[in-house]
Amino acid sequence: MYLTLCHLIKIGKKIKIRPLNLSDKAELAKLANNKKVWDNLRDYIPFPYKEGDAEFFINLAIKEEPKQTFGIEYKGKLSGVIGLVKQKDVYQKSAEIGYWIGELYWGNGIATKAVELIIKYGFDKLGLNRIYTGVFEYNIGSMKVLEKNGFKKEGIFKNAIFKNDKVYNEHRFYKLNEK
């Protein structure tokens, strides 16, 4: 599995996805401990984000089989995290995608390429039929990343998000495996 994954993810050149490892702990904590990043994430991700949180998360990712959570590298440096959450039961051929990029790396096309890479992995290696996600209404950048990767807007869930003591709409996107 690892050799196949490495072959797949290296097509990104300056941008690639790779398994997380414990040596990423300090950098992951530094990148994730940012209110601007956290404002676009679900609340189960702690803030402030400490090295202990990073270690816990990395250990969970290491145990995954098959791998579904990856570090995003830009020019050889950890710049964010991306993952797929495979669904269960009658939804077993679907996965929810989630990703974030550290603020230092915003505006470099990193998320767009990382999403492209994980879509290919999800469809080709995990055998998924559908990848979907929800985006907070104010995260226009994430919506653009998805649209550039062929995601379609499925709908808007009115007043579905409660974040930072405010209510927001959630924009739902999906992409189907055309094979």
Per-residue confidence band for 139, with pLDDT thresholds at 50, 70 and 90: very high
Q: Which of 147, 84, 90, 78 is nearest to 120 (CA)?
A: 84
**pLDDT score recorded for residue 179:** 81
CATH homologous superfamily for the domain 2-18+71-176 = Gcn5-related N-acetyltransferase (GNAT) (3.40.630.30)
What does the alpha-carbon distance between residue 128 and residue 43 come to, in Å, rounded to a whole number? 27
Per-residue confidence band for 13, with pLDDT thresholds at 50, 70 and 90: low
Say what the pTM is.
0.90
Does residue 7 register a pLDDT over 50?
Answer: no
**pLDDT score recorded for residue 12:** 47
Q: Where are the domains of the chain?
A: 2-18+71-176
CB 84 within 8 A of CB 36: no
Instruction: Please write down the long-range contacts of 8-13, taking CB distance under 8 Å and 24 or more positions apart.
Output: 8/117, 8/120, 8/121, 8/124, 8/125, 9/70, 9/117, 9/121, 11/117, 12/113, 12/114, 12/116, 12/117
Residue 83 host element (H or E): strand 77-86
What does the alpha-carbon distance between residue 68 and residue 83 come to, in Å, rounded to a whole number? 5
